Amino acid sequence: MATETTPPAADRTADPTADPELACPISPVVDIVFSRWTSPILWSLHAFGRQRFVELERRIENITPKVLTQRLRQLERDGLVVRTYHPEVPPRVEYEISELGRTLSPVFAQIAEWAATNLDHVERARRRYDDAGAPRG
């Protein structure tokens, strides 16, 4: 008879170091919303409304069409973006932030406020750190 090697769920949650998501419960959200290109896409759709692919591409500097396509598909899969196909000649596709995506609005507003208040402090701290040289040891 085989013995169970995986501890019961109650035992796994008792040690937050066993699962990084338990140690930091916002990790999955950070992975979904704040990856390299995802936050600029969501910000643009939130701030400027429904947009075509080329409009997003123009607004988000340095993103390649391949990466924009991948990110939009992932955001659609996650339920944060809605893709609407218009069967016209030529075909037209538009993207907009979903209702679920809109629930992130207070988070974006708070982060924008934090940035306006604190990014200069971060920059000064970086300069002090860099001026002091690399830590020893």
Average pLDDT over residues 117-136: 92
Q: What is the CATH number of domain 19-103?
A: 1.10.10.10
Grade residue 12 by pLDDT with cuts at 50, 70 and 90.
very low
The two structure tokens encoding residue 52: 């075509």
User: For residue range 87-107, what is the model confidence (pLDDT) as tens digits?
Assistant: 999 999 999 999 999 999 999
pTM: 0.74
Residue 29 is predicted with a pLDDT of 87
**Max mean pLDDT range (4-8, 72-76, 133-137):** 72-76
Grade residue 6 by pLDDT with cuts at 50, 70 and 90.
very low
The residue behind tokens 């992130």 is: 104
Task: Say how far apart CA 96 and CA 48 lie, in whole Å.
Answer: 9
* Mean pLDDT of the residues in the chain: 87
In the chain, where are the structural domains located? Answer: 19-103
Share of the chain above pLDDT 90, in %: 66
The angle, 0 to 180 degrees and rounded to 10, between the axes of the packed helices 38-48 and 105-132 is 130
Alpha-carbon separation of residue 134 from 57, 90, 119, 125, 129 (angstroms) = 39, 57, 22, 14, 8
